[in-house]
Amino acid sequence: MVEGNGVWKSGKGKGRRYPKGRMLDDSALTEVVNLLSGQDLRRDMLIEYLHLIQDHFGGLSQPHIKALAEVLRLGEAEIFEVASFYAHFDVLGEDKLPPPLTLRVCESLSCEMAGASALFEELAVRHPEFRVVRAPCMGRCDVAPVVAVGHVHVGQADDSKVKLAVEAKIQLPDYESFEDYRAGGGYRTLEGLRQGDKTPDEVQEMVLQAGLRGMGGAGFPSGRKWSFVRAEAGPRLMAVNADEGEPGTFKDRYYLEREPHAMLEGMLIAAWAVNVEKIYIYLRDEYPEVRKVLKIELAQLVEQGVIEANFIELRRGAGSYICGEESAMIESIEGKRGMPRLRPPYVAQVGIFGRPTLVHNVETLHWVSKIARGGPEVFNSHVKNERVGLRSYSVSGRVRFPGVKLLPAGSTISDVIEASGGMLDGHVFKAYQPGGPSSGLLPAKLSDVPLDFDTLQEYGSFIGSGAVVVLSDKDSVKDAALNMLRFFADESCGQCTPCRVGCEKAVKVMEKQWDKPLLIDLCDAMAEASICGLGQAAPNPILTVLRYFPEEV
């Protein structure tokens, strides 16, 4: 008989200890070893290995987690804490089998406005054999409501489409291939720079003159970022942030599905200017079609001699909004939980594996290639309302033609709605989200404010990633704000108390009755004491509704 502390209770073996913890399953170990055969086993590839196991077996069983820990010489708890952090990993309980298929119904604001809740209930009733779950924004707000069936996205899903998608394959979009891009002059600029046509200082100055700023949401001048990284001693690294998880944002997907080489050449130009040793592309897991495109085209770059093998690594996210924050993304690239780092030091100084790291968003690099080829005027010749440059607005909600709208940076919400074909029939413009949930909600009366960097702060908002969701008189701003706070509560990494507890408490208060003094206290605590932008910006939906729509609360 064995006691709970792992000591033999009686008999000849009295006092003899046996190994504690979960025993290694030989068959699971063999399966993991075979699956990872040929791999150069590295700790930073942990998330990639977890994806391989889940893709092959349909989930992460405890025996496979134990086997992976054995292979990597890591603690089982270390594997588990990483796997359980990310929403797309299905960590299975003891003797639990993976579901035959998972249907993920997007519950972002745009999908909710388009009937996602009713769709969820319908799918749960009609498909009891499948697991039906609610999921955060999948970056396809232009075809809301959206369901992901396994790895296949079904826009405006109905039951018949779900049935057809069960056996479907990931379909490649109709995009500009390497041959097509090359035929139009692609990579000529990069080749010229490598041969000495311009110096890194000259290209950096072009980017500064163009007025290009980070299009991921922070808006930091791109040329200045280059100078900061260049000032640090090498070797330097680079990370491409393709994890656009801000609900309502889909512009990066739009460009990668159409002209991926514009971004890839811009990436290589920036890498040349900063003299980086290696590049990591961190792509959100919700974009399997883009992942397939990039794998094909990166292989083409190697085959055509544009880059050396292993110069670029494509890393796959696993469903975590916080990994859009640059330091959390770097933690994930290193194979860890995506927990934001305290700053300073900044990632330009201490980034991936402790090395100076240049981090850029997809759209930013898209414009770097065009500016390097055509000069600063490609970008800065567009002027409206005294604002210089261009912006890609991801537009969804109550407009006739949702999608990515490329407009001058000084455009207003009226311009955006007009470019989207106007409001839907029977809908009157009421409010809008200018830059994702982090930006809150603004009223229709603020329709003449340029949607650009530094123009919305006085109204308690900001442009962020340019994720515009248009609401009408048929929508409740209270419900919209609650949708946003539920998202933040779900996506908080839990590292700091103000964000972890504050978001959850705010949701409970908003679900019952908006206690204004309590909500304001919570907002103050989150904004002042949270480690990163999630907790700092999470109060904005509450504060803007209280400020502009007091009659509704």
**How does pLDDT run across 73-88, given as a tens digit for each residue?**
999 999 999 999 999 9
Q: pLDDT > 90: what percent of the chain?
A: 87
Domain ranges of the chain: 26-83, 102-165, 178-374, 476-553
Q: Strands 442-443 and 387-388, how do they pair?
A: unpaired
Q: How many helices (H) and strands (E) does the chain have?
A: 23, 15
19 pLDDT band, cuts 50/70/90, is low
Residue 399 has pLDDT above 80, yes or no: yes
Question: Comparing C-alpha atoms, which of 351, 325, 356 is closest to residue 241?
Answer: 325
Residue 10 has pLDDT above 50, yes or no: no
Q: Are 235 and 191 in contact (CB under 8 A)?
A: no
9 pLDDT band, cuts 50/70/90, is very low
pLDDT of residue 149: 84
pLDDT of residue 164: 47
Q: What is the mean pLDDT of residues 450-468?
A: 96
End-to-end Cα distance, the chain: 64
Q: CATH assignment of 102-165, given 3.30.565.10, 3.30.413.10, 3.40.30.10, 3.40.50.720?
A: 3.40.30.10
Mean pLDDT for the chain overall: 92
20 pLDDT band, cuts 50/70/90, is low
**pLDDT tens for each residue of 539-549:** 999 999 999 99
HEC letters along 343-397: CCCCCCCCCHHHCCEEEEEHHHHHHHHHHHHHCCHHHHCCEECCEECEEEEEEEE
Domain 476-553 has CATH 3.40.1180.10: no
Q: What is the mean pLDDT of residues 215-225?
A: 92
Residue 7 has pLDDT above 80, yes or no: no
**pLDDT tens for each residue of 288-307:** 999 999 999 999 999 999 99
**pLDDT tens for each residue of 354-397:** 999 999 999 999 999 999 999 999 999 999 999 999 999 999 99
Q: What is the mean pLDDT of residues 406-418?
A: 98
pLDDT of residue 8: 36
Q: Strands 429-433 and 467-472, how do they pair?
A: antiparallel
pLDDT of residue 40: 86
Residue 416 has pLDDT above 80, yes or no: yes
Residue 160 has pLDDT above 90, yes or no: no
Question: Comparing C-alpha atoms, which of 196, 226, 231 is closest to residue 208?
Answer: 226
**pLDDT tens for each residue of 335-362:** 999 999 999 999 999 999 999 999 999 9
Handedness of CA 155, 158, 160, 165 (dihedral sign): positive
Residue 28 has pLDDT above 70, yes or no: yes
Q: Give CA–CA dist 323/284, Å, rounded.
A: 9
Using CB atoms within 10 Å of the CB of residue 34, give its burial: 0 to 12 exposed, 13 to 18 middle, 19+ buried.
exposed
pLDDT of residue 5: 41
CATH number of 178-374: 3.40.50.11540
Q: Give CA–CA dist 369/188, Å, rounded.
A: 11
Q: Is the pTM of this model over 0.85?
A: yes
